[in-house]
Amino acid sequence: MLKIAVIGGRETVMAFKALGLETYPAADGAEAGQILRRLTRDNEDYAIIYIEEALAAQITAEIDRFKDRPAPAVILIPGREGSIGLGQAALKAAVERAVGTNILGD
């Protein structure tokens, strides 16, 4: 069975733990990058990995490895402080790659 993981600050991931998702608290980008590498290297059972935007901003090279792969889908989510716009920008870029033009508008 495929699983869903959440990487983020302790306060962010605890809400997802209550929903039954696998959670991985990370204090900084370096730790988030290590967790992402471990999840994708050791275990191919993850269909989706959510990463808090603030941490994702620090590990863009790691995340870019997955942008053209079907699994796992790496999705950026806002943290407790709110969105910094990375998730929306990543979605827009993915749609442009798939469709060939910006259909979402600005």
Is residue 106 in a domain? no
Is residue 104 in a domain? no
Is residue 53 in a domain? yes
Q: Which helix (H) or strand (E) holds 53?
A: helix 53-56
**Rounded to 5°, angle at Cα 13 from 62 and 57:** 30
pLDDT of residue 23: 96
Is residue 17 in a domain? yes
Q: Which residue has the higher pLDDT, 41 or 96?
A: 41
CATH number of the domain that 41 lies in? 3.40.50.10580
Q: Does residue 91 have a pLDDT over 90?
A: no
pLDDT of residue 67: 80
Do 5 and 24 touch, CB atoms closer than 8 A? yes
Greatest CA separation for the chain: 39
Residue 71: which pLDDT band, with cuts at 50, 70 and 90? confident
Count of the separate structural domains present in the chain: 1
Is residue 105 in a domain? no
- 28-53 pLDDT, tens per residue? 999 999 999 999 986 668 999 999 99
Is residue 47 in a domain? yes
Do 6 and 23 touch, CB atoms closer than 8 A? yes
Residue 60: domain span: 3-99
